Amino acid sequence: MLQEAPTSKASRARFITFEGGEGVGKSTQVKRLLQNLQRHDIEAVRTREPGGTPKAEAIRSFILQGRSESWGPGAEAVLFAAARLDHVNQLIAPNLRNGTWVLSDRFHDSTRAYQGLTGGVDDKLIAGLESLALDGHAPDLTIILDMDPEAAFKRVAERAIEDGLALTGDRFEKEELEWHKKLRDGFLSIARDNPDRCVVISAAQSEDTLEAAIWEAVTQRFPELLRGSQA
Ligand code: T5A
């Protein structure tokens, strides 16, 4: 579980999710946003999907090892939803109730994009699973990091070479490039359909520049952060 020690209390907690394709820099930026919030004396935790709780992490291992692949995207959507239900009940909802901001590295838009828009799972099944798993806990803000998938793969490969690691890839990282281009379009269409919740930011910039762009988007959405008080 990635939950981290909270800092001070905030009276109104927000739920922020990070979405996008493989290797666009979500995990890096979730950590940086957590630090920026803590510098502003905001109590916050970071978490991830699939995962975030012991039960959801068990489902994560099962899926990412490829053990559910032969079941098809519909069954995988159900598994992601089961993990999400536990994550919401055990980690996200209690933290928000307690005044702690929650930053999640992926959430329900990943099921919409991967299993729905790219995997072809019926909209009604995706919507039903979403309503069950979220139980009213939709994100207040979703940051979609957008990047050409070829460039993102190159980035991950370069880092693996620098670190002397073999580039193995999980279940989804092994899909074809065309599949990843469709996935990128899927995230962009989710952003277009949800303009009040989603902000698309180009991930093809340095970690520092991207961090600044994300902070600007977050403070624009929640100006109380700069006023030093919570709405
Ligand atoms: N999934 C998930 C579904 O299919 N349905 C669902 O409902 C859910 C929730 C999860 C997989 O499960 C699928 C989607 C995924 O395939 P994961 O390991 O969490 O698997 O996969 P990713 O989310 O893609 O995680 P990655 O670690 O691969 O990518 P990130 O988090 O986007 O990228 P990050 O921050 O780890 O950075 C990647 C590399 O680039 C460098 C970093 O140092 C690192 O080496 N980097 C940069 N380099 C240059 N410039 C920058 N701005 C950089 N930012 C990071």
Helix orientation angle between 73-87 and 54-64, rounded to the nearest 10 degrees: 160
CA–centroid distance, residue 21 to ligand 1 (Å): 7
Cα of 4 to ligand 1 centre, how many Å?
Answer: 19
Domain boundary assignment for the chain: 15-230
CATH superfamily membership of 15-230: P-loop containing nucleotide triphosphate hydrolases (3.40.50.300)
Residue 28, ligand 1, Cβ within 6 A: yes
Per-residue pLDDT of 21-65, as tens digits, reads 999 999 999 999 999 999 999 999 999 999 999 999 999 999 999
In this predicted structure, what is the pLDDT of residue 182? 96
Q: Which of 156, 165, 168 to mutate to test the pocket of ligand 1 (most atoms within 8 A of CB)?
A: 156
pTM: 0.93
Average pLDDT over residues 205-227: 96
Q: How far is the CA of 86 from the centre of ligand 1 (A)?
A: 22
Q: How confident is the model at residue 95 (pLDDT cuts 50, 70, 90)?
A: very high
- What local confidence, expressed as pLDDT, does residue 216 receive? 98
Residue-wise pLDDT tens digits, 181-214: 999 999 999 999 999 999 999 999 999 999 999 9
